[in-house]
Amino acid sequence: MTSGLILNIQRYCIHDGPGIRTTVFLKGCPLHCWWCHNPESRSAQPELRTLESRCIHCGQCREACPLAAEGRAGDPAGCTRCGACAEICPTGARQIVGREMSVGQVLDEVLCDRVFFDESGGGITISGGEPLSQPAFTLDLLRACRDRSLHTAVDTCGFAPAEVLQKCASLASLFLYDLKVLDDDLHRRHTGVSNSLILSNLAMLADIHDNIWIRIPLIPGMNDSVLQLQSAARFVNTLRGVRQVNLLPYHTLGSQKRPGTTGTGVQTALRPDSREAIERAAAIFSDAGLNTIVGG
């Protein structure tokens, strides 16, 4: 079976689509949004994560390291991420982030929650990272879920080949489509890539799929001005397949993960928007005739 690099499988999710859902987080993302709340999902490779707050300095990790025989235990340059230190760590301070799983293995875990899906109208959400960065796995997982009549949602930033998105569109019940900002220069500066492909993919998707939820993170000073929000609202209002807009208030939860994961950068500290500012933002989309929800 096709295998993928899985970051985490999280149960009883209520903000990743309708009903109670099981969210499968894939590893690897082509964007580098500094506000990302899953920074450990960026790298497309397994990573060794150290949670210093849990470490009791017992030394068991150094003894278990295969490099100990060479006197190089814990040497980052020689680390192969074999997981020996994580397996022995008594407090979970050492963790391997990312594990290979087959479609069948993932499905076995997801189907354990089917009773909750059936009762609540939920299902499985494939998120990340970016699920379209592992297209073969994502498509095979969607097919397997369709064969079992599971409701499926794909949470995507849209930065992927159009043909991959088209194939997913024939299989997924719902798309959660992230829209950061329409200004291409701002998008490049804050995510590392142009938004031209993202916007063209969204327009294409809206013509062939009739169940899209737009998710807009409200980042203070980047995309929360009246002009930026009005521009986004006008664009979204032209898209036939959009059913609702979710405005996601900024938070700093991702910053707690960055120090323990390699290559994830540093999150700038910002003050979240006030409730009044968030309500004003929501009003811009509602006044444009869009079904608008704060959160979710």
What's the CATH number where 64 sits?
3.30.70
How distant, in Å, are the alpha carbons of 101, 127, 157, 187, 253 from that of 267? 30, 21, 19, 16, 10
Last residue in a domain, options 96, 117, 137: 96
Is the Cβ–Cβ distance between 31 and 192 less than 8 Å?
yes
The domain spanning residue 137 has which CATH number? 3.20.20.70
Can you give the pLDDT at residue 261?
47
Is cis: bond before 295, omega within 30 of 0? no
Domain co-membership, 110 together with 210: yes
Q: Which residue has the tokens 């963790």?
A: 95
Domain co-membership, 69 together with 199: no
All residue ranges of the chain with pLDDT < 70 are 253-269
Domain co-membership, 80 together with 158: no
Domain co-membership, 223 together with 141: yes
- Structural domains in the chain (count): 2
Domain co-membership, 39 together with 60: no
32: tokens are 């580098």
Domain co-membership, 166 together with 71: no
Domain co-membership, 88 together with 165: no
Can you give the pLDDT at residue 269?
62
84: tokens are 């020996």
Domain co-membership, 35 together with 55: no
Domain co-membership, 81 together with 107: no
Domain co-membership, 209 together with 253: yes
Q: Which residues pair with 242 in a beta bridge?
A: 212
Query: Which range of residues forms the domain containing residue 89?
Result: 47-96
Domain co-membership, 257 together with 245: yes
